[in-house]
Amino acid sequence: MTNWRQEAERFAPGLRTLVLHGLERKQHFEKVLEHDLIITSYPLLPRDQEFLLQQKFHCVILDEAQYIKNPKTTYAQIANASWWKGSSTRSAARTSSSPPRISMCSSPRCSEAGTGLCYSFTGST
């Protein structure tokens, strides 16, 4: 996650970046709306699910998409719900209020589109 913060500072220095990681991350939840870029990790999705699903993200960027390739996994279900503001149906992806989604994976096994929550932009749509 340090790498993603450094990359944001390097390529988008104007973005207000918040890393949600570690035991003290919950004390920063109240600061989410003050930031443009929120960085978290897959293992924290189940632990922070209640908070994350209450947020309205402008854009969701997923790195290491292999973590949610299987739609039956907890990570995939939480990521999909966060993409579509709590909706678990794919039809929600077609609404105009759905945030843009970007999935990234460097592994050849992750070439399937949409398989890819790790990094999220907040803001209005």
CATH of the domain at 15: 3.40.50.10810
**Residue 88 clears pLDDT 50, i.e. is over it:** no
Which has more pLDDT, 116 or 69?
Answer: 69
How many domains, the chain?
1
Range(s) of the domain holding residue 44: 2-122
Task: Return the structure tokens found at 70.
Answer: 């299987």
Relative to beta strand 57-62, strand 101-103 is: parallel
- What number of other Cβ atoms are within 10 A of residue 90's Cβ? 11
Task: Work out the percent of the chain whose per-residue pLDDT is above 70.
Answer: 65
Radius of gyration from C-alpha coordinates of the chain: 14
Q: Is 9 exposed, middle or buried (0-12, 13-18, 19+ CB in 10 A)?
A: exposed
Q: What is the mean pLDDT of the chain?
A: 74
State the average pLDDT over residues 113-122. Answer: 39
The residue with greater pLDDT, 7 or 96, is 7
- At residue 82 the predicted structure's pLDDT band, cuts being 50, 70 and 90, is low
**12 pLDDT higher than 90:** yes
Predicted confidence at residue 98, as pLDDT, reads: 57
What are 13's two structure tokens?
């220095």
**How high is the pLDDT of residue 11?**
94
